[in-house]
Each structure stands twice: as structure tokens, then as C-alpha cells.
Amino acid sequence: MLKKIVAKVKSIRTHIVDSITRRPDVNVSGLKPEEKVFKESVEEECRRALGKIRKRVPNARISVHVKSSLKGKWYEIKGTLELPGGSMYASASDRELYGALIRVLYEFQEEARRVKSYGKKGGFK
């Protein structure tokens, strides 16, 4: 009974803090202003993956930083999946932006699946 009360208090506290800070669910950084089309595409794909993740772990957020080198011929993506109980980091690099992004998002979905299968409610302990 006490565990349920503590979990409910943590959930309410997280909700209140989130409503005050109003952080976006998906944050994409690192792309140049002329790469706006890529940024919109990355945000859309992250939102799609976040929808799948939130079916298992509510209150999750994704932050992605894209680094391009060799005049846009090589992309490195570093991502953070923020869960109520902790964060998970993943990175991938590829010649195609979409390929690297899909690998990072796949790792996040697998982690959400693991968190759900262990019976943890929304994070790490």
C-alpha cells in the first residue's frame, strides 16, 4: 500500500514539475538553419517512435543531437531517452541521416520494452 502511495506522489510531482517547466517532448539540435527540412523529418520520426515508447512507459521524452561532417556526407546522432526514473543514451553514425536515426530510435524502443517487461513503472531503480 505504501509503495502505491509513494508511486502516486512521484507521478503527481513529475506532472506538476513538467507542467511548470513545459519542456518539449521531442528536442532536435545540431542541424544548420538551411537543413530545416531534415529537422522537421527528424522531429516527425522521433514523435512516431515516442508514441510507441509511451505505450509502455508514459512521461518519456526524446532529445536528439545531429552532427554532420565531411560536408554533410557523414552523420552522427546522439540521443537521450528521458524517463521518470532515469535516462538512457544511444548513438549511431551513418552516411544517411535516416539510417542513423532509425538505429538510435530502435535502441530506445528496445529499452522501453525492457523496462516494461521488468515491471518497473516508468524508469530505472
CATH number at residue 32: 3.30.160.100
Nearest partner of 43 among 60, 26, 29, judged by Cα: 26
Nearest partner of 60 among 22, 110, 108, judged by Cα: 108
pLDDT at 72: 63
Residue 91 lies in a domain: yes
pLDDT at 119: 62
Count Cβ atoms below 10 Å from residue 6 Cβ, excluding itself.
10
What is the secondary structure of 10-67 as a DSSP string?
A: HHHHHHHHHHHH---SEEEES--GGGHHHHHHHHHHHHHHHHHHHHHSTT-EEEEEEE
Residue 8 lies in a domain: no
pLDDT at 66: 92
Nearest partner of 56 among 123, 107, 4, judged by Cα: 123
pLDDT at 118: 66
pLDDT at 2: 81
**32: CB partners within 8 A, 6+ apart:** 68
Residue 107 lies in a domain: yes
pLDDT at 25: 83
Q: Are 114 and 57 in contact, with CB atoms under 8 Å apart?
A: no
pLDDT at 20: 66
- The model scores a pTM over 0.85: no
Nearest partner of 108 among 58, 46, 66, judged by Cα: 46
Residue 72 lies in a domain: yes
pLDDT at 103: 95
Residue 103 lies in a domain: yes
- Full domain range(s) for residue 97: 24-117
pLDDT at 122: 47
Structural domain tally of the chain? 1
Residues of the chain with pLDDT under 50: 122-123, 125
pLDDT tens digit sequence for 49-73? 999 998 888 888 999 999 888 776 8
